[in-house]
Amino acid sequence: GQNIDQPTEMTATEGAIVQINCTYQTSGFNGLFWYQQHAGEAPTFLSYNVLDGLEEKGRFSSFLSRSKGYSYLLLKELQMKDSASYLCAVKDSNYQLIWGAGTKLIIKP
């Protein structure tokens, strides 16, 4: 079967750095996506990794290791507005998106 694992919940302090991990087992791989979702809103796209390595976008970075079936989302200089759920999703061999359960990130002052 296809499976994506990420922690259910994480807590971090404003101004700090947090890393949200995602491991996956899917039928094929055509890219990994990270989305941010605030409560009551639709998911918004953060990053896309299809090759191994680190992609940096401002305060957010995403890393991929295809051989390990592993990715992480790194958030720096945390702000209160970063409190949200972060969803990891993988495109399988049929280009279908397989979604993780999401990680709820709580930022404390």
Partner 1 sequence: SAVISQKPSRDICQRGTSLTIQCQVDSQVTMMFWYRQQPGQSLTLIATANQGSEATYESGFVIDKFPISRPNLTFSTLTVSNMSPEDSSIYLCSVVPGEWTEAFFGQGTRLTVV
Which chain residues interact with partner 1 by CB under 8 A? 30-31, 33, 35, 40-45, 48, 50, 85, 87, 89, 91, 95, 97, 99-102, 104
Distances, alpha carbon 89 to alpha carbons 10, 14, 45, in Å = 18, 26, 11
Give whichever of 14 and 99 is closer to partner 1, judged by the CB atom.
99
Minimum distance from CB of 2 to partner 1 (Å)?
12
Minimum distance from CB of 27 to partner 1 (Å)?
15
Give whichever of 17 and 106 is closer to partner 1, judged by the CB atom.
106
Give whichever of 42 and 109 is closer to partner 1, judged by the CB atom.
42
- Beta-strand ranges (E) seen in 1-109 are 3-5, 9-13, 18-25, 32-37, 44-49, 53-57, 60-65, 70-75, 84-91, 97-99, 103-108
Q: Are 30 and 24 in contact (CB under 8 A)?
A: no
Minimum distance from CB of 64 to partner 1 (Å)?
15
Minimum distance from CB of 50 to partner 1 (Å)?
7
Residues in the chain: 109
